[in-house]
Copies of this chain bind each other. A is one copy, B any other.
Amino acid sequence: MSARTHLGRPRKIIDGLEKLVGRAPYVADQWLPGLLHARPVLSPYPHARIRGIDRTAALAVPGVHSVLLGADLNVKPMHSRPSLLLAEDLVVFAGQPVALILADTEAQAADAAALLDVDYEVLDAVEDAEAALAGGTLVWPQGVPKADGGMAGLHGGEAGAQVAREPSNVDEDRTFGRGDVDAALAGAAFTAGGSFRVAGVHQGYLEPHAVAAQPGARPGEVTVYTSTQGQYVVRSEVAGALGLRERDVHVVPLTVGGGFGAKYGIMDALVAAAALHARQPVRLVLTRSEDMLTTMPAPAIDVTLRLGADADGTLTAVDADVRIENGAFRFGHGGIIATMLGGLYRCENVRIRTRELLLNRAPVGAYRAPGVPQALFALESAVDDLTRQLGADPLEWRLRHAVQAGDPMGTGRPWPDIGLRDCLEAARAHPLWQGRRDLPAHEGVGLAVGGWPGAFSPAGAVCRVDTDGTVRLHVGSVDISGVHSSMVLIAAETLGVDPDQVEIVQGTTDSGPYAPNSGGSQVTISLSGAVLDASTQVRDQLLDLAARHFEAHRDDLELTGGQALVRGIPDRAIPIGKLAAQAQRAPGGPGPVVAEGRAALKAGAPGFIAHLVHVRVDPDTGAVTLRRSVAAQDVGFALNPLLVEGQIQGGSAQALGLGLLEGLDYAGGTLANPNFLEYAFPTSTDMPPLEALLVQRPSEHGPFGARIVGEPPITAGAAALANAVREAAGVRVTELPFTPEAVWRLRQAQSGD
């Protein structure tokens, strides 16, 4: 398509109005006949035995329907946070639900929750990585509860070699790589590296986890209304945890107030079990503190890294030891971390060890590009130091060594066509980079690169034309980050209608169509093909109808402005709604104008980024002020540039928050800052201008050349920030987030040298 009317042009999101006027259907607004309100009771201890629970006082609160304990619920053996509905004998993390109160009002449930008398025997807890590795106390003395799959596969992670072992807090210990790292390091002319740590961070969606469940007519049948990124995952989780048939679990995805990887059904099985037990609808909307205590944030990650280069600066070795603090359940970050740590630069010798550690801490989950911002903070800081040693320009050095199509990822598989070098070139051309040497004192620009391989999945979509000309796209995906606003453009482009004429119909697990999760950066590239297929079939149907209507040849017809018309004869035009009405009403058909499209990419469309961050470091206090962020990201083709830029801006903000401000404080094994007052999310006043440079190197696989967009923007910003601080203040930050005091101390230590 040479001249596109809608695709590739910026257009605002389609659901802005309903969100502004308060009509977007959030779970917290759902009401069902006989609804009970739920309030969980969370363990204050990271590790404890429950000696007994006295429900008397809680049940005496007026309006309380029941106090559910683990033994009351009919569940399958637990293997994950979502399947561990309620603790039974043992508590394995502070924040773990031990009971669920059901009452007529939220206030009654909260009153009862406060009165529940739980008798805990506090046990020694595995509070940090050192304790986990020491193994004096085991989180799971009988072995780690395991399930098949989990979230890792959704994000394009890959498996490495795994050694079977005795019960241990080291859940997985894998080594990925190639070549002879020890020899390469021994022979290196230059080395750089160190130990880096990033604190655990929380996804920080504005809407806490919220679920309502209603029992169905059949025993074991339940409908779940939920804020989720993937309704089919929730269906599987609920069915699996409760031992129900998948067909008896109906999931209705409602408006999502932010997900970032966290909204895959953490509380859904519990609420469904409660509704089935009570035989009444139950709704649970977590408070902010409950949400931060009991849900699944990103892990704290330690990376000890060493790079080697030969005399001419060629990278010869990447050696990394990664420790991931997973909390009380398994989660697999290792594969994706290795993929990226060993897959950004050409290097013949790579060794990446990843250890997934179990602790008595809230289990971790996916958070936008899981593990990669943390790992690349280490890698890109070390690269920065290495180029300083080499006296090389950090951008030119990266350009020389950056991977391209055919080069191996950290797991050995080759990259398809990618645009990492294009991103670096775009960053190089930007005035911020060009002018980086002309800045005032105490200011500096840092560079880092990142990226994400991205998942992809088959999908379906239905396109219909209604008799008033409205085009309806029926999709099974969940709209986060404006996904559906881009689908509307595809249909509008294909059918020659204004995007305002296209409406999205949100499917459920019952109605379908099938679509992948809105996560792993995959939904747009996976769904677009199905929407295009359905729209193209509908286009064909409309052209056939118009050809019959005008007694004209199809090749002489076109669809534009909501009409079918005969080219060159302006008065021979008919609105597509009239064609649909004819088709839908005529005896003998052809029947309604409608088509179901299917699509399945053969391979992914990875996205890369080069991130520039400009800071000022106060020489007296160490305080860092963010001046500017410029992220050059290869998006292949921006279906809707406004939304793609928004994604990049949002990811940049999260990257900078992770670098400068955010950190879960698990001192003593219990989260000390479970709220937005003490956990410092960046606000608009913290953020500098966030510029998004759209690099558009078309993907060979993505629809219209589009690449994944969601995850890359968060991957390099924290590292770029650290490199900017190095440039501005001369100190190397090795721990995120960092306080002014930490920078000040580093500067003091340096000047004391």
Contacts and interface: CB of A to CB of B under 8 A. Distances in A.
B596 A595 contact: yes
A503 interface: yes
A234 to B, nearest CB: 14
A568 interface: no
Interface in A577-607: 583-592, 594-596, 598-603
A161 interface: no
A467 interface: yes
Interface of A: 17-18, 21, 23-24, 29, 31-33, 215-218, 245-247, 456-460, 462, 464, 466-468, 470, 472, 474, 503, 505, 507, 510-514, 530, 583-592, 594-596, 598-603
Contacts of A585: 457-458
Contact of A218 (B17, B460, B467, B601): B17
5 contacts: A21-B217, A31-B33, A247-B503, A512-B592, A586-B600
Contacts of A513: 464, 592, 594
A591 B459 contact: yes
A592 to B, nearest CB: 4
Contact of A510 (B217, B503, B589, B594): B503
B592 A458 contact: yes
B587 A591 contact: no
A218 B457 CA distance: 34
Contacts of A468: 245-247
Contact of A598 (B507, B512, B589, B603): B589
A24 to B, nearest CB: 8
Contacts of A503: 247, 510
B18 A217 contact: yes
Contacts of A460: 464, 591-592, 594
A557 to B, nearest CB: 21
A468 B510 CA distance: 12
A178 to B, nearest CB: 25
A600 B583 CA distance: 9
> Which among A24, A460, A601 has the highest number of chain B CB atoms within 10 Å?
A460
Contacts of A595: 596
A153 to B, nearest CB: 11
Count identical subunits in the complex.
2
A317 B466 CA distance: 48
Contact of A512 (B21, B24, B594, B600): B594
Contacts of A246: 466-468, 470
Contacts of A596: 462, 594-596
Nearest to A245: B468
A215 B22 CA distance: 11
B458 A512 contact: no
A558 B70 CA distance: 46
A456 to B, nearest CB: 7
B245 A456 contact: no
A458 B584 CA distance: 6
Shortest Cβ-Cβ A-B pairs, 7 listed: A589-B600, A591-B598, A18-B217, A458-B591, A514-B592, A23-B217, A247-B470
Contacts of A247: 466, 468, 470, 503
Contacts of A215: 23
A468 B595 CA distance: 24
A638 to B, nearest CB: 24
Given A245-B468, A587-B600, A587-B602, 7 more contacts: A17-B218, A23-B215, A247-B466, A464-B514, A472-B510, A472-B512, A505-B510
A29 B33 contact: yes
A659 B511 CA distance: 44
Contacts of A589: 458, 598-600
A432 B514 CA distance: 56
Given A33-B31, A503-B247, A603 B587 contact: yes
Contacts of A598: 589-592, 594
A18 B218 CA distance: 8
A688 to B, nearest CB: 34
Given A458-B589, A468-B246, A17 B217 contact: yes
Given A458-B584, A458-B585, A601-B588, A23 B216 contact: yes
A330 to B, nearest CB: 22
B456 A591 contact: no
A600 B594 contact: no
B31 A32 contact: yes
Contacts of A33: 29, 31
A598 B602 CA distance: 30
A467 B245 CA distance: 11
B217 A458 contact: no
A474 B594 contact: no
B590 A474 contact: no
B591 A530 contact: yes
Nearest to A216: B23
A536 to B, nearest CB: 14
A134 B530 CA distance: 66
A458 B583 CA distance: 8
A13 to B, nearest CB: 13
